[in-house]
Structure formats: structure tokens, C-alpha cells
């Protein structure tokens, strides 16, 4: 992967539950600090679009999908452990 | 409660429990044999039920069957959320039951795979809203009324702490209650302490749900024993005892001692023959239809033969009959019975009779009973022979076997099947005549006891009727005779207060026959002699009478001559005097 690659995220949330709100905030903060200017975030509310949750097999919320670059990665939870999230997303500082 | 409530009565007096009407509406029938009776109608409608059990206790089978019955019988589509096994595997396993799942899928039964991905990266707290959102849509689309969450513990184990688990369970619960779906959660409980579940991590669930059912699978004396117990049921009465159950071809079959609120079986005065004419006479006409007849005896006392005679008689009447033999193969039984003139093979060929060798039935007594019931109803049997029923007690505990005996009789009476059971008595056992292994003797209507009577160096088969409810019956001990002409009872011969049997009876019989002949001849001789004497006397009587007549004539003659002579003499002397003219006549 190159430094220039665009990161596409989709975050499945449930209404305005606490977990979902935290995850949303954490994702935005993380993108700002590590992927400034090269990320896209789509927020999907499972209650508003349950069909998409079914198709994607979303059981737990919040669930973060990294759609690009491939392969698709999934992280469940509030994304509070930044280091772990970065490792999973391939944004480990060493790699960067 | 609503005692004053008026229930519309139709023509015949229909008795309705005052609770039964609303309760029927409040409950979602599971369609599982026995369970609906235990709970008085099924699961609490629109509420949640917790199904607890150890590994292999049948949680998934129960839950799946509940959905299938709902979809097929009660028009309530259902969703099965599989957290542990994949839906493919569950469906494959379900193929072993006769549920014909394929035709139900998609429209009325939705299987959802929800196995967590254990490679899933997880940071921080999460909840189950994603699943609920999806389920909500699917439930609305298919109008689902029932839902099962199978192995809920799997998903709960992923939640980081107890408070999160509790929160998610309550979220789920609230979601279900709002949607008014009738739900089953299945949850693992360690096999041995299902009762102390409250101490287990998800114990709070037992307080949350409206109904809690514990499945137990244990091994007692080397025999698998399954039990079900309803632990709680809000707002409803239920059978609180453990009920044995088996998982058979049709799925769950819960054994219940007595159907709650079941009307008494209509009794009948109809008699059916025992197959032995003289036994019928002793019983005042035969067995009652739908009665339970117990034939006890030591090995070799012709228990099978007597029950075979009953089976043959039933077939001759054209009644479908099932003969369950625990001791030998069906063909052996038929051959052996043919030697005493009981010919069953033709009925076997015509399909009236079904022979089942129960040696092929393995498992607990409960299992055997379920099999027998299934075969009997498939055969539409009106008469049933179980030979011997004591074999049921060979596996499992005595208590379990007792329950089985009771249920066997309850079932046969309810289905109006005339049941003849033989029961082996252990010669060594203390209880001899007084008890049978299944305690069935107290429950049976007619109890015939066969024994060996040892007399004058011989063993002969004695038969007596120990009891026969509702029928007059002979108190006589009779000798049972088996010959190639059939089974019968010998005439009664008593001597010195003993009923004679075997050769002693035969001796007595022949002695009496000889004595009869002698007496008859002697009688004839006497008659002839008397005839002769009578004839002789009659002849003598005639002679004497004739003599008497002669004498009488002689006497008459004599009298007459005497009189005339006197007259002549008198007349002569007067005349003479006149002639002489000597004297004047006197008195002139």
C-alpha cells in the first residue's frame, strides 16, 4: 500500500446509542490524526436501513468496515483502543 | 377467579375449566407431545421462555420443533437465530426427524446464521442493535410470531462484562416484548447443576423470563434418562414434577403421567374373549374391552401361550393386534404357539397381526414405551400384547420403570386398546405372588396368576384369577392344559381338600370312570333280577286268585245245597205226619 491510497470506511451504528456515538467520534478523530485528507466515511444506521445490515451480516453495533484498501477489515466496538484499531487498519506508525 | 363467568354450553354439556378459555389465548402451543399438557397449553404468548440444559439435552431440537409446529400447525411463522451451529448443520441434523423441513423454509421458517466470527477484532463496548434491526425487518416481512435464539450464551460470552451482558439481554427482552413475539432462549447449563443455575453467570435471566424449562440428560444405572422440568411459569399453573421425555423419530415426546384435565375415559361393558373358553367362563364372560390384563408367572408357566390365545382370538374377530415380544423373535413366538394349536401366521400374512421383537428396541424403558406407542398407533392396534412387560424394568431405575408402567396403562386405556401384559416373576425373589417389577399389578384390571403346582412328584400348571375388577370371577385354582389342540382348563377334581392335577387327576378321572361302569352293570343286573321276581310273583298271584274263585264257588254251592236239604227235611216231616194223619198241624 502506498501513502497516497484512499481509505474508505463504513460505520454501522444504531440510532444514537452511546456505543455508536463513541465509535463515530473515535473514528473521526482517528482519521483526522492519521488519514487527513485521504479518507471517506459512510455512516449507516441499522435501524434506518436494516436491509443493508442484513446483507452485510451486521449483528453487533457499532461495526466498522474498511472497504478500501482491500482486503475488507472489520472491527466491532467503540474503537476506544486506538493502537489496536490502527494495527488492524494497517495504520501502525511503523508501517506509515 | 371468574366463577360467575358464563360459558356458552352446546347441546351436550361441555365442561370448561374457567381458566381454560383465556389461558388458551394466552398461550402459544408448542405442539410437542406432553409439553402442552404440562404447561396447560404451551409457552406464554408474546413472552420469553428460557430453555436450559447441558450438552446433548435436546435444547435445539425442542426449539426447532416449537418453530416447525408453529409454522405448520398454528399458522405462526418463525425465525431461528443460530449462534452456535450453522443453519446448514442444524437442518442436516433435523433431516433425521420426520419433519419435512424443506417445504417449510423461506416463507414460514427462517434460519439465520449468527455465529460470531472469532477472528473479529473488538475494541471497546458494543451491542446487539445491528442484529435486532435486521431481525425486525425480517420479522415484519414474514409476519413472524415466534422466534428462537439458540445458544444465546455464545454471543453473551463475547460481551466484555456482566453489566454489558445484562444490558443486552434486557434490550433483547424489551425488543421481543414490544414486538409481541413468543420467544425461546436456549442456554447452556452444566448438566449436573441445572437447578443451581442462579449461581451461574446468566442466572438473572431466570428472573427476567416468564417461563423457564430445564432439560436434563443423565445416566442412571447405565441407562440414559432424559427429564424435563418446568421451573417457573408466570401466571399459569403447571406440572412441577420432572417428566421423562425421549427424542424419537418425531422429535420430542414428553411423558406425562396423566393428562391434566383429561376427561375420564368412557368405560365400556363390552367383553372380549381371552381365547380360552373356560377362562372366559371363570371371568364371567371374558376380559373387558380396553382393560389391562396382567398374566404373571414363573418361567415356563405358559404366559406367552395364554397371551397368544388372546391375540389369536382378537385376530379372529378381525381386530388389529400388536404382539410385542421382548424374549424372542416374532417368528419364534409364532412357531412355538403353533405347537399348541394357536395359529397366528395367517393373520401375520393378512396384516391384521404385527409381531415386534422388542429386543431391537434399545434404551430406557421410556424409549421402549414411546416406540411401542408409535408402532401401535401406526398399526392402529385395538389389542396389544406385551410379553413380558417386566422386561421394561430391566433398564433404568425402578422408579422410572414404575412410571412407565403407569403411563402404559393410561395410554392404552385412553386409546381404548385392550392390553394383555405378561410379567415374569423371579422365582428367587421374595415378592413371589405379591408384586410385579413394575408395580403394574395394582393398576391392572384383571390379574391372572400362573404357577406350578407340585403334587405327588409332578409339576403341573395351575391357573388362578387373583383379581378381576368389576367382574364376578371364579375362585378356583384350575389346571391349565396345553395340547396341540389348543389351550384349555381341566375339569375340577378335588380330593381331601386339594385340587388334583396331572396324572393324579387322570387317575382319579379313570377310577371314577371304571366305578361308573361297574355301577351301571350292577344296576342292570339288579333290574333284570327284579323283573324276574316280579313276573314270578305275578304268576303266583294269578294262580292264587283262580283258586280263590273256585273256593268261593264251592262255598256258594255248599250253602245252597245245605239250605235246600233243610227245606226238604222240614217239608218232608210235616207232610209225612199229614200223610200219617197222626197230628194236627201245629199253630193252626
Residue B272 confidence (pLDDT) above 70: yes
Determine the average pLDDT of the residues in B148-172. 82
DSSP assignment of B397-418, as one string? -HHHHHHHHHHHHHHHHHTT-E
Residue B270 has pLDDT above 80, yes or no: yes
CA distance B361 to A42: 62
User: Would you state the pLDDT for residue B199?
Assistant: 52
Provide, rounded to the nearest whole percent, the portion of chain B with pLDDT above 90.
Answer: 8
In angstroms, the separation between the Cα of residue A2 and the nearest Cα of chain B is 24
> How many Cβ contacts (< 8 angstroms) between chains A and B?
96
Q: Give the pLDDT score at B14.
A: 36
pLDDT of residue B587: 58
Residues of chain A positioned with their CB less than 8 A from the CB of B138:
54
Model pTM? 0.65
Structure-model confidence comparison of residues B25 and B368, the more confident one: B368
Residue whose entry in the numeric block shows the C-alpha cell 453489566: B163
In the prediction, which pLDDT does B530 show? Answer: 94
The C-alpha of B123 sits at a distance from chain A's nearest C-alpha, in angstroms, of: 5
**Are B97 and B249 in contact, with CB atoms under 8 Å apart?**
yes
Lowest mean pLDDT among B203-207, B372-376, B418-422: B203-207
**Rounded distance between C-alpha atoms, residue B67 and residue B150, angstroms:** 12
Task: Give A51's contacts in chain B (Cβ within 8 Å).
Answer: 137
Q: Using one digit for the tens of pLDDT, what is the confidence trace for B502-519?
A: 777 777 778 888 888 889
Between B170 and B327, the higher pLDDT residue: B170
For residues B146 and B194, the model is more confident at B146
> Binning pLDDT at 50, 70 and 90, where does residue B546 land?
very high
What is the C-alpha to C-alpha distance for residues B63 and A58, in angstroms, rounded to an integer? 24
C-beta atoms of B124 and A81 within 8 A: yes
Residues B109-143 have pLDDT tens digits of 888 888 877 677 777 788 888 888 888 888 888 88
Q: What is the pLDDT of residues B517-537, one digit of tens each?
A: 889 999 999 999 999 999 999
Contact criterion met (CB below 8 Å) for B500 and B493 = yes
- What's the pLDDT tens digit per position in B414-433? 788 888 888 876 544 444 44
Closest CA to B512 of B524, B494, B490, B487: B494
At residue B458, the pLDDT reads 77
- Between CA B287 and CA B418 the distance in angstroms is 9
The pLDDT, as a whole number, for residue B495 is 66
Q: What is the reported pLDDT for B114? A: 81
- The three-state secondary structure class of B174 is helix
3-class DSSP assignment, residue B419: strand
Residue B366 has pLDDT above 80, yes or no: no
With an 8 Å Cβ cutoff, the interface of chain B facing chain A consists of: 114, 116-117, 120-131, 133-134, 136-138, 155, 158
pLDDT one-digit tens code per residue, B36-52: 878 878 888 888 888 88
Cα separation of B75 and B372, whole Å?
31
- Put simply, the answer to whether A74 touches B134 (Cβ < 8 Å) is no
Residue B482: its H or E element: strand B478-483
CB contact under 8 A, A14 and B133: yes
Q: pLDDT for A4-55, tens place per residue?
A: 678 888 888 888 788 888 888 888 888 888 777 788 888 888 888 888 878 8
Q: Which residue of B has its CA nearest to A53?
A: B134
Q: Give residue B369's pLDDT.
A: 80
Q: Is the pLDDT of residue B434 over 70?
A: no
Q: Quick one: pLDDT band at residue B548, thresholds 50, 70, 90?
A: very high
Q: Which chain A residue shows the shortest CA-CA distance from B141?
A: A51
Query: What pLDDT, on the 0 to 100 scale, is given for residue B538?
Result: 94
Q: What is the pLDDT of residues B338-352, one digit of tens each?
A: 888 888 888 888 888
Q: Which residues of A touch B134 (CB under 8 A)?
A: 46, 50, 53-54, 58-59
How sure is the predictor about B544, in pLDDT bands with cuts at 50, 70 and 90? very high
Q: CA-CA distance, B420 to B404, in Å (whole number)?
A: 15
Burial class (CB in 10 A: 0-12, 13-18, 19+), B37: buried
Mark B359-395 as b/e (b = at least 16 C-beta within 10 Å). eebebbbbbbbbbbbebbeebebbbbbbbbbbbbbeb
Q: How confident is the model at residue B472 (pLDDT cuts 50, 70, 90)?
A: confident
**Per-residue pLDDT, B540:** 93
Nearest to A59 among B122, B131, B138 (CB): B131
Kindly report the average pLDDT of chain B as a whole number: 79
**Residue A56: pLDDT above 60?**
yes
Q: Which residue has the cell 444514537?
A: A16
The alpha carbon of residue A57 is apart from the nearest alpha carbon of chain B, in Å, by 8
Q: Which grid coordinates belong to B540?
A: 303266583
DSSP three-state, residue B559: helix
pLDDT confidence bin for B258, thresholds 50/70/90: low
Hey, of B133, B156, B174, B175, which one would you mutate to test binding to chain A, going by the most A CBs within 10 A of its CB?
Answer: B133
Q: Which of A61, A78, A84 sits opposite B129 (nearest CB)?
A: A61
Q: Comparing A3-17, B12-26, B274-288, B347-361, which segment has the lowest mean pLDDT? A: B12-26
Predicted confidence at residue B178, as pLDDT, reads: 85
User: Looking at residue B561, what is its pLDDT?
Assistant: 92
Chain B residues lying within 8 Å of A77, measured CB to CB: 122-126
Residue B303 has pLDDT above 80, yes or no: yes
- Smallest CA-to-CA distance from B191 within B50, B51, B53 is with B53
Closest alpha carbon within chain A to B171:
A17
Cα–Cα distance measured from residue B562 to residue B556, given in angstroms and rounded to the nearest whole number: 10
* ipTM value for the complex: 0.82
Amino acid at each position: 500500500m502506498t501513502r497516497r491510497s484512499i481509505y474508505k470506511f463504513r460505520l454501522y451504528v444504531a440510532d444514537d446509542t452511546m456505543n455508536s456515538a463513541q465509535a463515530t467520534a473515535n473514528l473521526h478523530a482517528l482519521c483526522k490524526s492519521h488519514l487527513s485528507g485521504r479518507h471517506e466515511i459512510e455512516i449507516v444506521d441499522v435501524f434506518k436501513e436494516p436491509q443493508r445490515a442484513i446483507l452485510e451480516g451486521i449483528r453487533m453495533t457499532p461495526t466498522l468496515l474498511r472497504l478500501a484498501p482491500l482486503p475488507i477489515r472489520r472491527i466491532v466496538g467503540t474503537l476506544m483502543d486506538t493502537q489496536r484499531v490502527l494495527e488492524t487498519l494497517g495504520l501502525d506508525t511503523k508501517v506509515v | 377467579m371468574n366463577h360467575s363467568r358464563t360459558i356458552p354450553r352446546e347441546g351436550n354439556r361441555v365442561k370448561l375449566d374457567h381458566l381454560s378459555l383465556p389461558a388458551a389465548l394466552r398461550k402459544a402451543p408448542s405442539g410437542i407431545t406432553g409439553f402442552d399438557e404440562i404447561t396447560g397449553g404451551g409457552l406464554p404468548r408474546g413472552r420469553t421462555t428460557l430453555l436450559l440444559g447441558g450438552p446433548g439435552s435436546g435444547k435445539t431440537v425442542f426449539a426447532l420443533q416449537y418453530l416447525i409446529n408453529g409454522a405448520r400447525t398454528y399458522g405462526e411463522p418463525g425465525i431461528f437465530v443460530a449462534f452456535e451451529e450453522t443453519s446448514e448443520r442444524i437442518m442436516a441434523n433435523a433431516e433425521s426427524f420426520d419433519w419435512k423441513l424443506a417445504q417449510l423454509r423461506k416463507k414460514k421458517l427462517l434460519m439465520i446464521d449468527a455465529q460470531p466470527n472469532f477472528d473479529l477484532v473488538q475494541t471497546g463496548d458494543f451491542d446487539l442493535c445491528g442484529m435486532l434491526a435486521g431481525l425486525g425487518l425480517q420479522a415484519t416481512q414474514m409476519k413472524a410470531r415466534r422466534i428462537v435464539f439458540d445458544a444465546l450464551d455464545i454471543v453473551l460470552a463475547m460481551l466484555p462484562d456482566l453489566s454489558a451482558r445484562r444490558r443486552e439481554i434486557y434490550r433483547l427482552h424489551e425488543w421481543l416484548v414490544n414486538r409481541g413475539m413468543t420467544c425461546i432462549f436456549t442456554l447452556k447449563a452444566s448438566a449436573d447443576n441445572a437447578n443451581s443455575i442462579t449461581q451461574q453467570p446468566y442466572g438473572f435471566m431466570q428472573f427476567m423470563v416468564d417461563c423457564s424449562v430445564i432439560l436434563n440428560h443423565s445416566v442412571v444405572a447405565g441407562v440414559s434418562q432424559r427429564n424435563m422440568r418446568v421451573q417457573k411459569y408466570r401466571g399459569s399453573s403447571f406440572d412441577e414434577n420432572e417428566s421423562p421425555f425421549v427424542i424419537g423419530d418425531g422429535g420430542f415426546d414428553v411423558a406425562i403421567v396423566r393428562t391434566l384435565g383429561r376427561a375420564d375415559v368412557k368405560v365400556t361393558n363390552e367383553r372380549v374373549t381371552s381365547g380360552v373358553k373356560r377362562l372366559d367362563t371363570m371371568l364371567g364372560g371374558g376380559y373387558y374391552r380396553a382393560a389391562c390384563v396382567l398374566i404373571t408367572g414363573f418361567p415356563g408357566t405358559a404366559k406367552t401361550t395364554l397371551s397368544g390365545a388372546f391375540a389369536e382370538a382378537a385376530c379372529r374377530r378381525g381386530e388389529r393386534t400388536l404382539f410385542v415380544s421382548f424374549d424372542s423373535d416374532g417368528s419364534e413366538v409364532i412357531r412355538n404357539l403353533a405347537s399348541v394349536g394357536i395359529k397366528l401366521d395367517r393373520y401375520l400374512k393378512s396384516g391384521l397381526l404385527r409381531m415386534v421383537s422388542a429386543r431391537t428396541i434399545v434404551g430406557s424403558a421410556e424409549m421402549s414405551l414411546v416406540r411401542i406407542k408409535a408402532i401401535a398407533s401406526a398399526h392402529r392396534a385395538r389389542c396389544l400384547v406385551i410379553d413380558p412387560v417386566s422386561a421394561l424394568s430391566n433398564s433404568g431405575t425402578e422408579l422410572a420403570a414404575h412410571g412407565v408402567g403407569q403411563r402404559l396403562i393410561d395410554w392404552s386405556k385412553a386409546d381404548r386398546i385392550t392390553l394383555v401384559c405378561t410379567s415374569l416373576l423371579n422365582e428367587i425373589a421374595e415378592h413371589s405372588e405379591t408384586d410385579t417389577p413394575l408395580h403394574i399389578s395394582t393398576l391392572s384390571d384383571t390379574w391372572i396368576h400362573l404357577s406350578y403346582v407340585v403334587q405327588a412328584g409332578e409339576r403341573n400348571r395351575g391357573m388362578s384369577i387373583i383379581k378381576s375388577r368389576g367382574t364376578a370371577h371364579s375362585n378356583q385354582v384350575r389346571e391349565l392344559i396345553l395340547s396341540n389342540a389348543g389351550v384349555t382348563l381341566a375339569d375340577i377334581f378335588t380330593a381331601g381338600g386339594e385340587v388334583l392335577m396331572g396324572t393324579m387327576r387322570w387317575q382319579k378321572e379313570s377310577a371314577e370312570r371304571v366305578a361308573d361302569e361297574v355301577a351301571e352293570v350292577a344296576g342292570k343286573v339288579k333290574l333284570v333280577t327284579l323283573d324276574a321276581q316280579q313276573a314270578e310273583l305275578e304268576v303266583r298271584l294269578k294262580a292264587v286268585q283262580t283258586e280263590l274263585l273256585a273256593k268261593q264257588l264251592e262255598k256258594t254251592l255248599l250253602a245252597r245245597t245245605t239250605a235246600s236239604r233243610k227245606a226238604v227235611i222240614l217239608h218232608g216231616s210235616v207232610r209225612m205226619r199229614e200223610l200219617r194223619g197222626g197230628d194236627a198241624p201245629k199253630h193252626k
